[in-house]
C-alpha cells in the first residue's frame, strides 16, 4: 500500500507539472498572438471608420 501512495504522489506531481508547462506555452505563444491580432483588427476597423466619415 505504501508504494501505491508514493505512485499517486508522483502522478499528482507530474500532472501539476504538465498543467504548468502547457499554461506557460499558452501564455507565451498563443495569448500574445491573439491579443496582437485583435489589436490589428481594431486598428483596421478604426481606420475604415475614419475614412468613411
Q: Is the dihedral of CA 36, 37, 42, 43 positive or negative?
A: positive
pTM of the model: 0.62
Give the per-residue pLDDT at 2. Answer: 67
Return the biggest CA–CA distance within the chain: 75
Between CA 29 and CA 32, with CA 30 as vertex, the angle to 5 degrees is 80
Estimate to the nearest angstrom the gap between the alpha carbon of 30 and the chain centroid: 6
Three-class DSSP category at 1: coil
pLDDT 10s digits, 1-51: 668 888 998 999 999 999 999 999 999 999 999 999 999 999 999 999 988
Give the per-residue pLDDT at 37. Answer: 94
Amino acid at each position: 500500500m505504501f508504494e501505491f501512495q508514493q505512485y499517486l504522489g508522483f502522478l499528482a506531481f507530474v500532472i501539476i507539472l504538465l498543467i504548468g508547462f502547457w499554461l506557460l506555452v499558452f501564455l507565451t505563444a498563443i495569448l500574445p498572438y491573439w491579443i496582437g491580432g485583435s489589436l490589428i483588427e481594431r486598428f483596421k476597423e478604426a481606420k475604415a471608420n475614419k475614412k468613411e466619415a
